[in-house]
Structure 1
Amino acid sequence: MTLVLTRRRLLAGAAVTATAAAMTACGEDDGESSSSGQQPVEKVSILSGAGFQGREAPIFVARAKGWFTEVGLEVQVLPGKGTTSNLQTLAGGQATFATVDVNGAMIEFTRNGGIKDFRLTSVLHQRNLACFVALKSSGIATPRDLAGKTLSYIPGGINYLLFSTYARLAGFDSSKVKWVSNPIAPQHAAMLAQKKVDAISQFVPAVESVRTVAKQEVVTLPFTDYIGDLHGSAIGVTTETAQNKPDLVRRFNRALLRGLEYAVNHPEEAGQIYASEKETQGQPPAAAVAEVKALRAYVEGISDTPLGQFDEARMAKNIAILQAAGTIPVGLTPKDIIAPELVG
């Protein structure tokens, strides 16, 4: 009997052994294991959300612990450049999997001429992580204070894609800001410290890293203060991969979610693993640990669905919020964009 890992068990810290048992049972049930108990290794790649930051630790934990290898996968981790760029790379066949923001993916899917060749499989963050960070000494204390200021952004990143909605709900004119583009996410903190911009696009778990670079107190303006019930990041694949290689997608998701579970329950170890990997050199282990610790609140879901699984009713609510704000047109349904049967 396969145990179902829920976020309630996850946050109680008691599900690691159960997950391993569940993965073994799944492998036996769907015939993934060969008679010798070995699988041919298949090489795949995944794009991170934006560069390499501590919140990507679950991927590296799953790889370092050998959990991808256990399901017959050799995983290359590539630096992502935001949702739009990641979807372009995915559609172009240059990556097998991509980390994308759920809302940014819906905006792209419904845009005239937008990319539609993808499906979202496992959801990593049940709450949206987007925020702006400013130096406390700047006098910025509320979103309205951003009007007339200079903000950094990652092209195709969710902070930029959702900004007009965020500004409208927070009560200021989105056209009254100046944007400075930088596709390299870790460099934004230095831009803030050097006062090249007044506030930076960032994700909430990385705020401690920003504070460390800035060497002074900062103010955090989370999008969730004004746009509630929005999902964060999910794993996307092309429609072709979803249709023709469902077993591959399920195996990848099972191993990755095992890494996610382990990371939030063992943030110190996860941060150390992340910082030691060849791709991630540059972020101090302490900053990575702090980011993994902060990630826990975004992995915890509102409903008690299994870890990584979309709650379709909540996804429908997420869509309705964007439609009501005029961010996406009416007509989109959860089934148009998510493939929950591929979680694992």
Structure 2
Amino acid sequence: MSHVRVMLDYFHPWPNSAGLYVARERGWYREAGLDVELAVQDPGRGDTLEYLARGEVDLGLFPPNRLLARRAAHAQPLLAVAAVNHRALEAVQTARSTGITRPRDLAGRRLAYNPTPRGRAMVRHLVATDGGDPDAVITVDSGYRELTVDDIAAGEADATFGNYWSWDALRGDLPEEHRLTWPVDEIGAPRYHSYLLGTSEAFADTEPGLIRAFLSATARGYAAAAAEQDRAQALLERVIPYFSRP
């Protein structure tokens, strides 16, 4: 049995990693001869890619832009072996009460997001593509906070960028009919993978068979999670018991 340490993509497990937990719970990793440990990152020691670069984990989930930046700027020998998401998860969200009805309406309004170079570029592109003035968008630096539509309704901002339409954009008490959520690939952004599964070049060179076995079992896990969502939810509640049911 080969021990495999896999680092997740966030500070805590969330539904994006459901397939990994399902594959382990169903015994599919064990059938493949793998003893899979699922770990979360300590942000004080870096993100998943830093753990991979130090050789402290074997595989991990991460955004593609971070991988490209590390390879370009530091020539780090890291690579992706599979896509976890086949489209972007990021969205622009607002409340209908703000009067914002399309991306160009963000000009002159307060948009809460983490204003990284990538974030700023994305916001500017989305607003400009819809015919708005990107220079007129008022940035509210929310850092790593996951603002919900309730924060918008409370007046903290007029809209948010970066919420995932499949995760934090679903949270909050404001009724669905009072929300507007626009996935970025539906309002002008190119389609891209939000998260990839990857490893180091060294691990890929020395353990190609292990990686293939892991990918095969993981694909079964994600397919099962999608097909049997109630069972997957019950499993996730054992590792992230912090969120109320819908």
TM-score tier after normalising by the smaller chain length: 0.7 to 0.9
Matched, 1:119 2:79: yes
* Residues 149 and 60 of structure 1: CA distance in aligned 2, closer, same or farther (over 3 Å): farther
Q: Distance in 1 between matches of 2:26 and 2:6?
A: 17
Is the Cα–Cα contact under 8 Å of residues 22 and 225 in structure 2 kept in the other structure?
yes
Is the Cα–Cα contact under 8 Å of residues 71 and 78 in structure 2 kept in the other structure?
no
The alignment-based identity, stated in percent, is 19
Q: Distance in 2 between matches of 1:124 and 1:232?
A: 8
Matched, 1:284 2:244: yes
More strand by share: 2
Instruction: Provide Cα deviations, 1:182-227, integer angstroms capped at 9, x if missing partner.
Output: 325xx322644543233232122226622x4445621112211212
Q: Distance in 2 between matches of 1:259 and 1:156?
A: 33
Q: Distance in 1 between matches of 2:230 and 2:91?
A: 24
Q: 1:275 aligns with which of 231, 237, 242?
A: 237
* Residues 79 and 160 of structure 1: CA distance in aligned 2, closer, same or farther (over 3 Å): farther
Deviating more after overlay: 201-210 vs 135-144: 201-210
Is the Cα–Cα contact under 8 Å of residues 125 and 234 in structure 1 kept in the other structure?
yes
Instruction: Provide Cα deviations, 1:55-83, integer angstroms capped at 9, x if missing partner.
Output: 332222122222223331222231587xx
Q: 2:91 aligns with which of 131, 138, 142?
A: 131
Q: Where does 1:1-344 land on structure 2 (aligned, <5 Å)?
A: 40-49=1-10, 51-71=12-32, 72-78=34-40, 85-102=47-64, 104-105=65-66, 107-109=68-70, 111=72, 113-114=73-74, 116-154=76-114, 162-175=122-135, 176-184=137-145, 187-189=146-148, 191-192=151-152, 194-200=154-160, 201-206=162-167, 209-210=170-171, 212-215=172-175, 217-225=178-186, 226-277=188-239, 280-286=240-246
Q: Distance in 2 between matches of 1:233 and 1:157?
A: 19
Larger relative contact order (C-alpha < 8 A, sep ≥ 6)? 2
How many residues were matched structurally? 238
The root-mean-square deviation of aligned C-alpha atoms, in Å, is 3.1
Q: Distance in 2 between matches of 1:95 and 1:155?
A: 29
Q: Distance in 2 between matches of 1:177 and 1:270?
A: 40
TM-score normalised by length of structure 2 = 0.79
Instruction: Give the unaligned 5+ runs of structure 1.
Output: 1-39, 287-344
* Residues 152 and 253 of structure 1: CA distance in aligned 2, closer, same or farther (over 3 Å): farther
Instruction: Give the unaligned 5+ runs of structure 2.
Output: none
Please tell me the residue identity of whatever aligns with 1:86: T
